Structure 1
């Protein structure tokens, strides 16, 4: 869990540095992946949007990519209105398959995407923020992990403190815990943008599925 906190912090920082190196806002969206391809944003481990009110772009980009098979890198620069039109052009009742654990999260419908795009952006952001709340297992481990992170940083800065040693964070137990209790961050930026992030072992889809379900938009 200590490694997970550090990874999330570094992941968000890296994404913001690449996508928003200044206040120009010239990069509308971006994402992080452990692979070589830009997949559906909701399947990635982190996304950036220059305008928080356009957070629905992640959902629309994902739909068009999965349904129409368009490369995300080719359509990422489309306006939100153009993406909405692409979703609307799909047949009524059209679905794309998602990698969800629960029944309601195993697919994403055209109607759900359109309803999400029609919802007030503030409601969507609030639902994502609420859905990012850690579960009981994560909350129980958080104080100890935070203390270790703070102490490690203190030692690195001052050179003073108890001895430290490297540990392996790719054990089966660690990976299983992170995947079972994925951490999520919804970070509002001073620039007006927003970053969604989770551990690289995980995807943002559970966060989106829970938020859409909480708003009653899953169909």
Structure 2
């Protein structure tokens, strides 16, 4: 583990292994590894795909893998895809992935994640129209409307916990976009993105969620 100038703790084990493979000329498109300390549990739905340029990241001992080009420049719990401009607003951009520990404890979601089945289950304090990031503090910020529910699904985190997820299609001023939430009841941690406006990065959100490792996390 290392700590950068901003106090973020990063696990570099996966990167060291990946770098070794590249240095020895091993031709592999990806490496299934773990950003934390243990190997993936046998019950994990998927291993962790780590491509060249990806980096291991840790927030409050929640380990995950950031895809190439993703940053945490705004705050440690705000994972921004390529092209997100946090400098234009005083809040984490709507296109960023929020990490929320103790989400149920603070009333953001019910402890079992049943609210993910609701048509308005996407609503969070930061759920605003994508263009809200370009507006000043005194300008009204529009609220999205639900176009369709894309349903729920679940999978097993690398460390063995069940992850519940749901997705919706929303609309603001005629423009449609996706909104997604991932919730882990066993550790009471939620990941959410208010607006996926560039589908080129759609897989990146899911990849981060599937790389979650709570083996060192204490709620």
- The higher radius of gyration belongs to 1
TM > 0.5 between the two? Answer: no
Greater strand proportion: 2
TM-score between both structures, scaled by the size of structure 1: 0.23
